[in-house]
Structure 1
């Protein structure tokens, strides 16, 4: 168990808990460990290398044996990557010539020739029936033998592993950080929180757990050790019941409730009773999840526990036997009666909902007096609203400028995206400006004292992570909307998948668009070569894993946008497959190497969203001619089968315009709020002597031990409470 927890700490923090063991002469083994790490683009910090050198050789070897698999998986080097064309990116054939060759080879095979002739008689041949199509024609060892060794380059990625504290301290600190996060966690991090909560439930706890999903996970662990539950709404109890059934604590997916033991039923009913007894008005929350509460009542048997009458009221409301008008209903009734003043008065008691309704309220105002009322109510409520909501509304209003694009982009919690016409009236400009200024003041008021703030310039255009669901697990992954520089002559992206139960065919493609979002060309299994680059070939099944690559010469790209995509042609979805992830590498022109080289990987991002088409990011060329990556983390519904880049290029371009042109709140926004006197944009040269607050893509070596470090792994810490 301690080994898995150590791995979890490394994945989340890039810190290796302080190795322990007998003293010795471990310097040689430590340098060998460092060399092995460098093969996959990692390196020991000077402090960690010194610490390992003081331990016995056996201790160092044991530490390396545990750590190397973790970092290899982080970068995607834990699997074998093959390419259909063994010499890729060299000697990739013309698409039609390749298909013709597959057909000729099939006709030469006596066992399949009759079936192929039957297909030819109808003028249509299914490529999947050709024996040489879509299946590796060589082994992984053959692929390695066909490629020269990678030439080292100063541009190769180096990710530093730093020395952490004692394992128990690192586990406790990570638990407090995840449990107390001010923004929702992604599915992978929520699962990790569940593991940590099981270990830390009876230890120190965060001062507050503002995110309800996190609270449900923590409550499950607290229930197991007999600690008191953290409940202040009836929905908290519903989420806990979902957690106990290994269901969806976000309440987005239906959970099949399990049979619960009598002690657990008593704990849940007592929790419901105490919440309603303290605040009867919270019965109104039942309506939002009426069916879920009805099914939960069938498992809890509240009629068997007359000592908790308030809990029974919850299920009476769910069954429609008792009325509990919700706030939303009251607001809708007043707005329907043109009583905007009454609606605002109701919403003053729910500041979060008031903030989320501000756009609609302002559009419904008919007089300046009503507009002043709405703005005044929002400003007055601001101190009682979470920092995440304040920032979200600030970003929303920032983008409510009519730029002639009358389309709206919607993205749900699972990354599913769609576009509709925008029929909304404009938000009055004067009120929008007043609110932006007021929200800026509120955010600035909440920003903590940082002392000396040191900022890496490459992090300035990273979007603030207003939700952990706007990103994905992996290495070098940034929140949706973030921009990061792309330096190198050759860009190569890849997809890897391994099917669980049935044949699964994923297709990697790249769409090239001009500055008006019009299609110029694409690379895919239907178009293996273009002037821009090459496709590694189509693989159509993955019982032991499969991979596809696209190689691009950035200097040859004719367009402004390069949109990599992963299409599900057939088989299992991204969430069904045993494993699926996307990434990209950057190389200099003279570098050779295998199709996949871990040292050149800049990012590896898990594919686990809902939909049949994945859009991890887009590469865009700026007016200065430099390329940058903008993170999307989006999924299109696509078709049930046979998705192709040609079939989706119009919807992709429409969606891309909405995302690319949206103005995100970034780290730069916060630093500009704080002013030049409070922020130093670091040139990377001299490390300050005293403690600082450092914000960057990676933690530099040599910072004062009392410094506060913010990197993409804990970027959520920038979101004020």
Structure 2
């Protein structure tokens, strides 16, 4: 429980007591400072007890892991960023090294564990953390480099993370509130939070949760899983509203994808459990639609449920399964498409009114197909708009505000992969049409927000900086890391320092090669060059060398001195490629960046206190594009993309055009997607608050940090503001 509080909420929990001695306080705060942590209220140590020391070692380990300091980083070139060899000369020496070993030309030299003989005249092994010829790790070179790095001094710069002290008797209330913010979120939460979610549910019990507020379908699946494992079938029956809830529950029970984007495994069911499931399906709305949408999954689960044996008891379910097997299902979607191709506008609008969410997704197409019926379409949409989720209305609002001007449309799927589509498939709507539908959406948003807790007589301050942060609506596949904000958000950065990119991976069962790269683009996203294992240096950028195996855990770095870049370079796109071996998700793997003052070979290559952001790489895809550096605006754009492609042998040269297109579109998200500033203003206006210009005068504050609602308070934002 204390680990969750520290890792997720930056809360350090201590027992109450008579206070720490001056020596204890000095040692403790110094230990934190070495890792880049400091206490927001160090005076509280005067009220803390010594019992905290029982958890001390574990909590220090958690803090190290949070910033990536729990593993060892050994680059290929030990002198990085100094003494990085010339590409052509180094490549020639490697080729000569291969030939010399193959032809047994080397009569003297050090023989490595992998059998390679390295003559001193070819390479000085004291300069390398891995075999310089094969670029494979060897234990002896790895340990020698590790020992040498331990004696190096630390960087003079520190990137601080503030920790807040709370006392043990406050912990439960804080974590119960956190549990509720996770469960009551109106959108997806990160998959990496699921373990915490289950732990907290088991600790606090089901009675601490209001099932009516668990509205997001995938989150509900985890609660259903808990109830199923407790055999609380009556409670499950009350929570299951449709057949898809059942599928998601099975996905949660078997640790498969609750978004149903991947194949679901099904548990073995007892006779009693089969009857419970069939009873849920019998009372489910939209059974035929659910069966058709996930036909393959239902055909498979039908073999477990044996619905024909219970046809008398559950006739509707048995009939639906029979229709599914014989292809006789008529779906809502097929009827929608048929009506769109007809002239029956009235029937189409009545039909779409049965599913407001589908109406919202189709309203543009309906307006385009039937421009003479704009008033009729908008009026029908207005009748159901308050039945839509607020998050969907916010997305639609920005969609219609920008769709006529956009050349591309961006779609992020349930797996976190992104697609950029040409927008010419959607003909422009005229100003009358867009104006009418936007007005209807605005009215719907107002009606949704006004039902929230009133802020009448309260004063609200909103930081304009929130215009640079998107609302974090798609968190399902978001990378777990120090900085968690909406995709496309712009984070301020210190461009006077050296930005040091890093990636770490430890292979699991097979040789694995990841490659850290960075591509350069001009203002129009035209490719200007790159730095990677194929090109170790460019003006202002240098690579630490390519390591092609990771039995001990491998690391690669790239230093970027922004003031030394070519004046033409306006964007940088760091990337991590899977060249061979394990997928990101199948091994220990993370990346991030540091802010370095002393970027020299005599300073620690990885210094935990300089880490700005560390994030896990566990998505699916051929390569990851975690962020973009916008040089003119001095900002980091959080892209968090995992891009599909060929399974192996990926590199920056083969993806430079695709990366440019993806990153250029995500960089526009603060203009094309809901932003945090607008969300804050909507809540302030429709909940009756008074806006003030000074945060000290406000009862409720919105900002980047130290506010009532912060840009990275993802779960709180999704549960209380959406």
Q: Is the alpha carbon distance of 1:263 and 1:220 closer, same or farther for their aligned partners in structure 2, counting shifts above 3 Å?
A: farther
Q: CA deviation at 1:26?
A: 5.5
Q: Is the alpha carbon distance of 1:291 and 1:133 closer, same or farther for their aligned partners in structure 2, counting shifts above 3 Å?
A: closer
Q: CA deviation at 1:470?
A: 6.1
Q: Deviations over 1:457-506 (max 9, x none)?
A: 54441110122136321101322110111114211111111111111100
- Counterpart of 1:63 (choices 55, 62, 78) is 55
Q: Distance in 1 between matches of 2:382 and 2:720?
A: 19
CA contact (8 A) 2:580 2:649 kept: yes
Partner of 1:575: 585
Partner of 2:121: none
Q: Distance in 2 between matches of 1:620 and 1:542?
A: 32
Partner of 2:434: 432
Partner of 1:413: 414
Partner of 1:169: 173
Q: Distance in 1 between matches of 2:692 and 2:712?
A: 16
Q: Distance in 2 between matches of 1:266 and 1:168?
A: 38
- Counterpart of 1:274 (choices 283, 288, 292) is 283
CA contact (8 A) 1:583 1:604 kept: yes
Partner of 2:593: 584
CA contact (8 A) 2:492 2:635 kept: yes
Q: CA deviation at 1:556?
A: 1.8
- Counterpart of 1:383 (choices 376, 386, 407) is 386
- Pairwise CA RMSD of aligned residues? 2.9
Partner of 1:297: 302
- Counterpart of 2:365 (choices 326, 342, 360) is 360
Partner of 1:6: 2
Q: CA deviation at 1:638?
A: 2.6
Partner of 1:523: 531
Is 1:548 aligned to 2:556, yes or no?
yes
CA contact (8 A) 1:87 1:143 kept: no
Is 1:595 aligned to 2:596, yes or no?
no
Q: CA deviation at 1:352?
A: 1.1
Q: Deviations over 1:588-635 (max 9, x none)?
A: 36887322222221111221222111111111123xxx4111111112
Partner of 2:333: 328
Q: Is the alpha carbon distance of 1:719 and 1:439 closer, same or farther for their aligned partners in structure 2, counting shifts above 3 Å?
A: farther
Q: CA deviation at 1:261?
A: 3.0
Q: Is the alpha carbon distance of 1:54 and 1:130 closer, same or farther for their aligned partners in structure 2, counting shifts above 3 Å?
A: closer
Q: Distance in 2 between matches of 1:516 and 1:190?
A: 40
Q: CA deviation at 1:162?
A: 4.3
CA contact (8 A) 1:38 1:158 kept: no
CA contact (8 A) 2:709 2:716 kept: no
Q: Distance in 2 between matches of 1:466 and 1:19?
A: 34
Partner of 1:221: 226
Q: How does 1:608-687 map to 2 (within 5 A)?
A: 608-622=618-632, 626-662=633-669, 663=671, 664-673=673-682, 674=684, 678-680=690-692
Q: CA deviation at 1:330?
A: 1.8
- Counterpart of 1:372 (choices 375, 378, 394) is 375
Q: Deviations over 1:661-700 (max 9, x none)?
A: 34232112234544798444667xxx56xx7323333336
Q: CA deviation at 1:147?
A: 3.5
CA contact (8 A) 1:566 1:613 kept: yes
CA contact (8 A) 2:36 2:608 kept: yes
- Counterpart of 1:235 (choices 238, 244, 250) is 244
Q: Is the alpha carbon distance of 1:151 and 1:110 closer, same or farther for their aligned partners in structure 2, counting shifts above 3 Å?
A: same
- Counterpart of 2:163 (choices 146, 160, 163) is 160
Q: Distance in 1 between matches of 2:202 and 2:174?
A: 15
Q: Is the alpha carbon distance of 1:716 and 1:544 closer, same or farther for their aligned partners in structure 2, counting shifts above 3 Å?
A: farther
Q: CA deviation at 1:394?
A: 1.6
Q: How does 1:249-268 map to 2 (within 5 A)?
A: 249-268=258-277
TM-score (structure 1 length as normaliser) = 0.87
Q: CA deviation at 1:167?
A: 3.4
Q: Distance in 2 between matches of 1:504 and 1:541?
A: 5
Is 1:203 aligned to 2:207, yes or no?
yes
Q: CA deviation at 1:515?
A: 0.7
CA contact (8 A) 1:9 1:174 kept: no
Q: CA deviation at 1:240?
A: 1.3
CA contact (8 A) 1:84 1:134 kept: no
Q: CA deviation at 1:384?
A: 1.2
Partner of 1:124: none
Q: Deviations over 1:173-228 (max 9, x none)?
A: 22211111100122212343233333344321134211111111101101222430
Q: Distance in 2 between matches of 1:590 and 1:647?
A: 30
- Counterpart of 1:351 (choices 353, 356, 373) is 356
SS at match of 1:426: coil
SS at match of 1:203: helix
Q: Is the alpha carbon distance of 1:110 and 1:465 closer, same or farther for their aligned partners in structure 2, counting shifts above 3 Å?
A: closer
- Counterpart of 1:36 (choices 18, 26, 31) is 31
Q: Is the alpha carbon distance of 1:170 and 1:264 closer, same or farther for their aligned partners in structure 2, counting shifts above 3 Å?
A: farther
Q: CA deviation at 1:35?
A: 2.2
Q: Is the alpha carbon distance of 1:313 and 1:31 closer, same or farther for their aligned partners in structure 2, counting shifts above 3 Å?
A: farther
Q: Distance in 1 between matches of 2:281 and 2:95?
A: 68
TM-score (structure 2 length as normaliser) = 0.87
SS at match of 1:161: strand
CA contact (8 A) 1:76 1:604 kept: yes
Q: Distance in 1 between matches of 2:84 and 2:17?
A: 55
Q: Distance in 1 between matches of 2:430 and 2:716?
A: 34
CA contact (8 A) 1:512 1:522 kept: yes
Q: Distance in 1 between matches of 2:305 and 2:26?
A: 59
Q: Distance in 1 between matches of 2:666 and 2:711?
A: 26
Q: Distance in 2 between matches of 1:350 and 1:634?
A: 31
Q: Deviations over 1:345-382 (max 9, x none)?
A: 11112111111111211111141xx1112222223322
SS at match of 1:474: coil
Q: Distance in 2 between matches of 1:529 and 1:253?
A: 41
Q: Distance in 1 between matches of 2:405 and 2:162?
A: 43
Q: Distance in 2 between matches of 1:572 and 1:9?
A: 32
Q: CA deviation at 1:285?
A: 2.3
Query: What residue ranges of structure 2 are gaps of 5+ in the alignment?
Result: 107-114, 118-129
- Counterpart of 2:289 (choices 278, 284, 308) is 284
Q: CA deviation at 1:23?
A: 5.1
Q: Is the alpha carbon distance of 1:671 and 1:174 closer, same or farther for their aligned partners in structure 2, counting shifts above 3 Å?
A: closer
Q: Distance in 2 between matches of 1:418 and 1:711?
A: 25
SS at match of 2:584: coil
CA contact (8 A) 1:284 1:327 kept: yes
CA contact (8 A) 2:74 2:146 kept: no
Between stretches 295-304 and 379-388, larger displacement belongs to 295-304
Between stretches 166-175 and 339-348, larger displacement belongs to 166-175
SS at match of 2:612: strand
Q: Distance in 2 between matches of 1:152 and 1:373?
A: 62
Q: CA deviation at 1:242?
A: 2.1
SS at match of 2:35: coil
Q: Distance in 2 between matches of 1:356 and 1:655?
A: 23
Q: Distance in 2 between matches of 1:152 and 1:434?
A: 54
Is 1:83 aligned to 2:75, yes or no?
yes
Q: CA deviation at 1:13?
A: 1.7
Q: Is the alpha carbon distance of 1:198 and 1:293 closer, same or farther for their aligned partners in structure 2, counting shifts above 3 Å?
A: farther
Partner of 1:309: 315
Q: Distance in 1 between matches of 2:460 and 2:642?
A: 37
Query: What residue ranges of structure 1 are gaps of 5+ in the alignment?
Result: 118-127, 701-706
